[in-house]
Amino acid sequence: MTEVLPEFRPPWAITLWVSDRHIFAEVPVKAGGPPYIAKYPLTTIGLSTALNVLKFVHDQYGHMLYEPPAFKVARKTKLTAKPKVQLTAEQSERIANILKKKGLINE
């Protein structure tokens, strides 16, 4: 059974998304109310302003230490060793000749 994690983001996390002309930032509100959605122009100055807002919000929560919740990662596949390739003497010799011609081995 999988376990649902609590909120993984720290309290100062801001969600950003873009449209064709704007950068939007969902800024959390300390009082627990609805988040504030800020709109910035889709330019380097707009992105810089959004990052400054992120820094400002982080500084407001700066006294908090954030430890992400611990969770177990389930593997979807088993790690298995690849079977060893069995080469005949003729195949080994042909491979060695090709590698010598390419200068990859010196024998």
Alpha helix (H) residue ranges in the chain: 44-60, 89-101
Residue 84 lies in a domain: no
pTM, two decimals, is: 0.51
Confidence class for position 60, pLDDT limits 50, 70, 90: confident
Residue 20 lies in a domain: yes
φ, ψ of residue 102 to 5 degrees: the values are: -80, -5
Confidence class for position 104, pLDDT limits 50, 70, 90: confident
Does the pLDDT at position 70 exceed 70? yes
Q: Which domain, by its residues, includes 50?
A: 15-60
Residue 1 has what pLDDT? 46
Residue 45 lies in a domain: yes
The structure tokens listed for 1 are 């059974």
For all residues of the chain together, what is the average pLDDT?
Answer: 81
34 contact partners, CB below 8 Å, separation of at least 6: none
How many domains in the chain?
1
